[in-house]
Each structure stands twice: as C-alpha cells, then as structure tokens.
Structure 1
Amino acid sequence: MSTRKILIITPYAGRTGSEMMMGYLLNRFNRDLFQLGLCTLQPGELLNDLPPDVPTFTAPHHFSVVQKLQNKFGENPIFRYLRNVQKQFKADIWYLNTLVPAFLLPLAQELGVRVVTHFHELPLEYMALKGEAFRRLITESDRIIGCSEIVCQRIREAGGQRIELCHSLIDHSRIKIQPDRVQKLRQSLNIQPHEFVWVMSGQSTYRKGFDLLPDFAEQLKGSPARIIWLGQVIDDGFVTYTQEKLKHNSGVRVDVLGVQREDYYHYLSLADGFLLTSREDPFPLVMIEAAALAKPIVAFNSGGVAEFVQEEMGEVVDSWNVRDVVTVLQKVMNKELIFNAEKAKNRAQQFDVSVIISRWETIMRQL
C-alpha cells in the first residue's frame, strides 16, 4: 500500500491546544502509512519541536510591497505560496487545523486536493467566518473531524456532513515532574501549608473566562483558596479591565503568571485543584493534563469537560453562576467531595497520543 501524503495547514504553529495536538501526532504517526508535512500561516515554537522527517513550510505573513500589490489586484500571496508548496510536496490531502485556514478551501478544490477540516471550535468562534465560508466548509470538506462529541453535535446541527469524532489528546511522556522544583515554586509564591491552590490555564480571553477571576476571588473570600492563572496574557482593553479590577481585589490572592513554558507542568503539579472558568471549551488539553496529575476538576458545563469528567474526578456545574461553582470549590477544599486520584489518572491515560492516534489514522486511511 502506498503512503498517503497529508499537508497539515495550521494557523500559528504555537502552543494552543489545537496545535499542540498536531505536534504530538506529527511526532508519533505511522511512517509506513503516511507522509506528513506541516504548513503554518505564521511561524511559531511548534516548528522547533518536530521530527526531522516532517517537512515544514511557512506561508508569507509580512507581505512585501509587491505581495501587497498582488493581493490588491486579486492574487493572494498565500495562495501563490500554497500552489508552489503543492507542486513540491504533492499532497493527497490538505488538513485544515482549526477554522483559521478555512479560506484555503476554494484553492484546494481548484487544485483537486481533498480537504479534511479539524474543528476545535464551538459556536462562539464560528463568528470568525463569513456565513457562506462556514456553510461551504461544513458541507464541502471531504471529511470533518470534531475534537469532542459536543463539537460534532454542533456541526451536525449546522448541516455538516461526513463528520468523525477524534478526541483531543496529550503526550503523557512529556509530563515530567521534579519535586524539588515544585517546592521551590511554592516557596517563591509564598504558598502556606494551609492554602489550597486552584490553577487555571488558557489565553486571557472572554471565552476562557479570564474576566471572572475577580468574581471568583471575591466569592472565595475567607477560604484557604489561592488562584493561579497560567497562559498568554493579551494586551487589550478586556485584559486591562480585568487586571484593574484585580488591583482592588479584597478576596483571595490571585497570581496571573502568564506563559510558563519551562515550568508549566510544575505549576500544574503544585496545584491542589484545577478550575476551568471557560464559557466555551471544546475539549481542553489542560483538563486532561490536570487529571493525569491527579487534580480534582471543577468547571462550568462549557463543552467537552462534561464528556471527560466522571464520577469521583471532580464536578461539572450546570449553571453559569460563579456562586454555584464556588460552592463546589468549597466542598473540594473541605474534602466533602469524593475524589479518586487513580480514576482521574486512568481516565487521562485514555486520551494519550498512543491511544488516540490509531483512531486518527483509521479516519485518514478511510478517505
């Protein structure tokens, strides 16, 4: 059987969950079945974490004067670049990772290349596309992969066709914890023995519920809770508004630590619990990572978390009221909620790349 050539096209080659998942797959796929390449619309850190047998391409993102003129008169420089990439790589399939590369669907059809679209989004993010572009994507892609059942359900509701479920995944082999380093971080944050640390992780956006930090801090006042937020802190008015509110916070301490690449897993490890504040989240990788580190999970019913969290792993709250979530947080801190660490770790293991990759490869071989 000849190998199938797949060009994965991704937005930023960054550290978002959707792109980390692609990175794990690119390191572990079956070379006897597939040849994979990666084209990114912007250069990112993921490019430094790929095996040498995976060719990479970076589309133009800072247009020259000539490219700007070409674009103005109807020739998109990214289209021209992708035409050349296709001549060189000769992909059988273009794999659009997230909705961002959706604008490339007409080009793929023009070149006679089949298209797989991997949805990592729920409806709040559909507004990024024009209506017609969204309709074409969900009806004309040769295959759609949803990263959770709730994502697949939303696509079906919108009239999507040829949909397959392939859950998001992590690579457990990368979770390496040094207890001495964890202890040093606890000391640097002056975490006291009686304090209960809740960690969140994600971009500082409305979808991720970053603006709810002051509300959680106030509602937890008088408890032993501490809150740590990890992830990219965007310089915009929304974040500035939230940070100004936090300056006047009279509740529990909140530390917004930003991106912690080297110590990411150590910060997750020092936590006593994981709090998911997202308003929408398809199937967050950090949720799986928290379970792998045996942390109880508390969340709004924001999407894929309800598929993942089982009994004795934490609780998903069917309410958008911060007070209702805080009630559950208090139960966890008071040990009134049964938590089974082994069950959490075993559940996380079901979403390791070594398990999920066979499902992904099956879907791709069926095309």
Structure 2
Amino acid sequence: MPKSRILIITPYAGRTGSEMMIGYLLQQFSRERFDIALCALRDGELLRDLPADVPAFVAPHRFTLWQKVMNKAGKNPILRYLRQVQKTFQADIWYFNTLVPSFLLPLAKELGVRIVTHFHELPMEYVALRRQAFADTLQQSDLIIGCSEIVCRRIAEAGGQRIRLCHSLIDLSRIEVKEDRAAVLRRQWEIAGDEFLWIMSGQTTYRKGFDLLPEFAERLRGSRARILWLGQVLDDGLVEYTLERLRRTEGIRVDVAGAQREDYYTYLSMADGFLLTSREDPFPLVMIEAAALGKPIVSFSSGGVAEFLTEGMGAAVDSWNVRDVVAMMRQYMEQLRVSDPEKSRKRAQEFDVERIIPRWEEIMLEV
C-alpha cells in the first residue's frame, strides 16, 4: 500500500497548544504509513524541533517590496509559494492545523489535493473567518477533526460533516521537574511556606481570561492564596489595562512571570493548585500537564475541561462568575475538598502521544 503524503500547514510554528500537539505527532507518526512535511505561515520555534526526516517550509510573511506590489495586484505571494511547495512535495492531503490556513482552501481545491481541517477552536474564535469562508471550510473539507467532544458538537451544529474526534495530547516523556530549581524559584518569587500557590498558564488574552486577574485578587483577599501566571505576555492594551488594575487592587499578590520555557514544568510542579480562567477553551494542553503532575484543577466550565475532569481531579464551575470559582478555590485551600493526585496522573496518561497517535493515524487513513 503506497504511503499517504501529507502537508501540514500551521499558522505560527509556535508553542500554543494546537501547534505543540502537531510537534508531538511529528516525532512519532508511522514512517511506514505516511510521508509528512510541515509548512508554517510564520518562522517559529517549532521548526527548530522537527525530526530530520520531516521537510519544513516557511511561507513568506515579511513581504519584500516586489511581493507587496504583487499582493496589491492580486497575486498573493503565499499562494505562489504554496504552489511551489506542492510541486516539490506532491502531497495527497493538505492538513490545515486550526482555522488560520483555511484561506488556502480554494488553492487546495484547484490543485486537486484532499483537505483535512483540524479544529482547535470554539465559537468565540469563529469571528476570525468571514461567513462564506467558514461555510466553505465546513462543506469542502474532505474530513474535519475536532480536538474535543464539545468542539465536534459545535462543528456539527454549524452544519459540518465527516467529523472525527481526536483529543489533544501531550508527550509525558518530556515532563521534567528539577526540585533544586524549584527551591530557587520559590525564593526568587518570595513564596512563603504557608501560601497556597495557584498557577495559570496561557497567553494574556481575553479568551484566556487574563483580564479577570484583578477580580480574583480582590475576592481572594484575606486568604493564603497566591497566583502566578505563566505564558506569553502580549504587547497590547488589554495587558496594560489588567496590569494597571492589579497595581490598584487591594488583594492577594498576583505575579505575571511571562513565558518560562526552560523551567515550565518546574513551575507547574510548585503549584498547590492549577487555575483555568478561560472563557472558552477547546481542550487545553495545560490542564493535561497539570494533571500529569497531580495538581487539582479549578476552572470555569469553559469547554474541554468539563469532559477531561473526573471525580477527585478538581472542579469545573458551571457559572461564569468569578465569585463561584473563588468559592471553589477556598474549599481546596481549606481542605474541605481534596484531590487524588494518582487519579489525575492516570487520567493524563490517557492523552499521552503514544495513546492518541494510533487514533490520529486511523483517521488519516480514512481520507
């Protein structure tokens, strides 16, 4: 049986959950069944961590003067580049990782390649596409993959067909905790022994609920809670608004640590609890990572977290009120609720790359 040739097209080749998942897959997919190449629409870190047998392409994203002129004339340099990539790699399937590459759908149809669209989005992010582009993605994709049950439901509600569930995943073998480094970090951030450290992880966006930090800080006043936010700090007005409010808020201490790639898992290991403040989150990898380290999770019922958590792992609060989430956090801090770290670790193992990749390969062989 001839191998399928798949060109995965991804937006930024960065360290968001949707792209980390692709990075893990590219390390372990079956070389007997597939030839896979990666094309990124930006030059990101993921490209430096690819296996040697996975060809990598980077579409033009900082246009030259001539490319700008051509773009104005209706000759998009990205489309021209993808034609060259297809001529070189001769893919059978173009695999759109997230909705961002969906603008390439007409070109894929023109070139006669099959299309797989991997949805990592819930409705809050559908606004990124025009109505017709969204409808075309649902109707013209040969197959749609949803990263969680709730994502698959939303796609079906919008009229999507040929939908397959393949949960997001992590590579458990990459989780490394350095206890001596953790002690250094605790001193660096002046975390007292009696403080209950809640860690959060994600980009500082509205969808992730970054702007809710001041309200959490105020409502937790008088408790032994401490909050530390990990993740890329964007240069935008929402961040400045939130940080200024934090400076003016009389509440618990909240620190924004930024992206911590080298020490990431060590930071997570320091947590007494993991807090998710997202307004929507399809199936965040950070919750799997927190569970793998045995941390109780408290969250809004914002999407995939509700289907991930089982009894003894934490709580997804069925309201959008910070007050209710804080009440649940207090129950854990006061030991009115307890979690079972072993249950959390076992649940995380169900989403290890070695468990999920056979499902992904089975889906791809359908196309």
1:183 is aligned to 2:183: yes
Q: How many residues align?
A: 367
Give the CA deviation at 1:328: 0.4
- Structure 2: how far apart are the matches of 1:253 and 1:66? 51
Shift of 1:65: 1.5
TM-score (norm 2): 0.99
Distance 1:259 1:341 in 2: 26
Q: CA separation in 2, counterparts of 1:161 and 1:107?
A: 21
For 1:167, the equivalent position in structure 2 comes to 167
Residue 94 of structure 1: CA displacement?
0.3
Residue of structure 2 in register with 1:65 after alignment:
65
Q: CA deviation at 1:190?
A: 1.1
Once the 2 structures are TM-superposed, how far is the Cα of residue 76 of structure 1 from its aligned partner? 0.8
Aligned to 2:135: 135
Cα RMSD over matched residues?
A: 0.6
CA distance in structure 1 between the aligned counterparts of 2:139 and 2:352, rounded to whole angstroms: 30
* Structure 2 counterpart SS, 1:52: coil
Tell me, yes or no, if structure 1 residue 318 matches structure 2 residue 328: no
Matched residue of 2:194: which SS? coil
Shift of 1:20: 0.2
The AA in structure 1 aligned to 2:276 is: L
Q: TM-score, normalised by structure 1?
A: 0.99
Quote the sequence identity (%): 67
Post-superposition shift, 1:68? 1.2
Displacement of 1:214: 0.5
**In structure 1, C-alpha distance between the alignment counterparts of 2:276 and 2:338, rounded to whole Å:** 19
Alignment partner, residue 266 of structure 1? 266
SS of structure 2 residue aligned to 1:38: strand
* Deviation of 1:249 (Å): 2.1
SS at 2:269 equivalent: helix
**Alignment gaps of 5+ in structure 2:** none
CA distance in 1, matches of 2:3, 2:178: 41
C-alpha displacement of 1:12: 0.3
**How do residues 246-257 of structure 1 correspond to structure 2 at under 5 angstroms?**
246-257=246-257
Q: 1:7 is matched with which residue? A: 7
Q: In the aligned structure 1, how far is the partner of 2:206 from the partner of 2:66?
A: 37
What is the aligned partner in structure 2 of residue 203 from structure 1?
203
Once residues 189 and 244 of structure 1 are traced to their aligned partners in structure 2, the CA distance between those partners, rounded to angstroms, is 20
- For 1:238, the aligned partner's letter is L
Displacement, 1:338?
2.7
Alignment deviations for residues 41-66 of structure 1 (CA, whole Å, 9 cap, x no partner): 00000001110000000000011111
Matches within 5 A, 1:100-119: 100-119=100-119
Cα separation, 1, equivalents of 2:77 and 2:332? 54
- Distance between the aligned counterparts of 1:334 and 1:92, measured in 2? 56
How far has the Cα of 1:67 moved from its partner?
1.0
Can you list the C-alpha shifts for 1:293-334, whole angstroms capped at 9, x where unaligned? Answer: 000000001000000001100000000110100000000111
Alignment gaps of 5+ in structure 1: none
Q: Residues of 1 paired with 2:149 and 2:139: CA distance? A: 18
| Structure 1 partner of 2:46 | 46
Partner Cα distance (2:115, 2:76) in 1: 20
Q: Which digits, 9 at most, give the CA deviation of each residue in 1:266-304, with x for residues without a partner?
A: 110101000000000000000000000000000001000
Query: Which amino acid in structure 2 is aligned with residue 184 of structure 1?
Result: V
Task: Return the offset for 1:203.
Answer: 0.6
The answer to whether 1:91 aligns with 2:91 is yes
Could you tell me how far apart the structure 2 residues matched to 1:15 and 1:43 are?
A: 12
Partner of 1:155: 155
Give the SS at the match of 1:226: strand
Cα distance, 1:256 vs. partner?
A: 0.3
Partner letter of residue 95 of structure 2? Y
CA distance in 2, matches of 1:160, 1:350: 27
| Structure 1 counterpart of 2:43, one-letter code | P
- Equivalents in 2 of 1:219, 1:292: separation in Å? 29
Could you tell me how far apart the structure 1 residues matched to 2:157 and 2:2 are? Answer: 36
Runs of 4 or more off by more than 3 Å in structure 1? none
The alignment partner of 1:365 has SS state of helix
Name the counterpart of 1:217. 217
User: CA separation in 2, counterparts of 1:202 and 1:138?
Assistant: 28
Measure the CA separation in 2 of the matches of 1:217 and 1:36. 46
Q: CA deviation at 1:343?
A: 0.4
Give the match for residue 193 of structure 2: 193
Shift of 1:158: 0.3
SS at match of 2:61: coil
- CA shift at 1:342, angstroms? 0.5
**Match for residue 340 of structure 1?**
340
Aligned to 1:363: 363
Query: Partner of 1:16 in structure 2?
Result: 16
Deviations 1:194-246 (A, max 9, x none): 10000000010100000000000100001010000001111111111001001
Give me the whole-angstrom Cα distance separating, in 2, the residues matched to 1:174 and 1:50: 15
* CA distance in 1: counterparts of 2:86 and 2:264, whole angstroms: 37
Q: Secondary structure at the match of 1:186?
A: helix
Q: Secondary structure at the match of 1:348?
A: helix
Cα offsets for 1:139-176 (capped at 9, x unmatched): 11000000000000000000001100000000000001
CA distance in 1, matches of 2:218, 2:138: 42
Q: In the TM superposition, what whole-angstrom CA distance separates every residue of 1:103-149 from its partner, at most 9, and x where no partner exists? A: 00000000000000000000000000000000000111000000000
Letter of the 2:311 counterpart: E
Per-residue Cα deviation, 1:18-46 (whole angstroms, up to 9, x for no partner): 00000000001010000110000000000
